Amino acid sequence: MTAYDDSNVFAKILRGEIPAHVVHEDAATLAFMDVMPAVDGHVLIIPKAKARNILDVAPADLAAVIETTRRVAVAAQKAFLADGVTIQQFSEKAGGQEVFHLHFHVMPRQAADTPRKLPRPFADPQILAAHAEKIRAALAE
């Protein structure tokens, strides 16, 4: 297994070196808008602990990330009046992982939507800010 690399983009977000549209933060996790969303409301949830992916994460850190993922999924579905939610996690390059810090994707889905394909364009920051606010409001309910 390859070692964790502190130069990954999510580590930089955790250190405040790169801005993010934060949806939720607690002692163990951070949830923020994907800047290249597959669907409107696409959120990423990461542990604050160093973990390359699900293959090397400590059980307590994984439990925290899963609980935040569940809470964000419920809020995103509510905020976007979605019919369902897609939750994805990729581990290692062969598994589809592109950023080597454990993360879960939460995507509110409509029955008839089609997710944007990779490579996806960067979203308008004002739209991401509005989507983050919608999800934060749903989390507060």
At residue 23, φ and ψ (nearest 5 deg) are: -100, -40
| Residue 103 annotated as catalytic | yes
User: If residue 33 lies in a helix (H) or strand (E), which one and from where to where?
Assistant: strand 29-33
- Both tokens assigned to 35: 């800047």
Active-site residue, from 24, 101, 103, 105? 103
Q: Is residue 48 within 8 Å of 4, Cβ to Cβ? A: no
Contacts of 73 (CB under 8 A, 6+ apart): 85, 87, 106
Which residue type sits at 93?
K
Task: Tell the burial category of 8 from Cβ atoms under 10 Å away from its Cβ (0-12, 13-18, 19+).
Answer: middle
User: Catalytic residues, which ones?
Assistant: 103
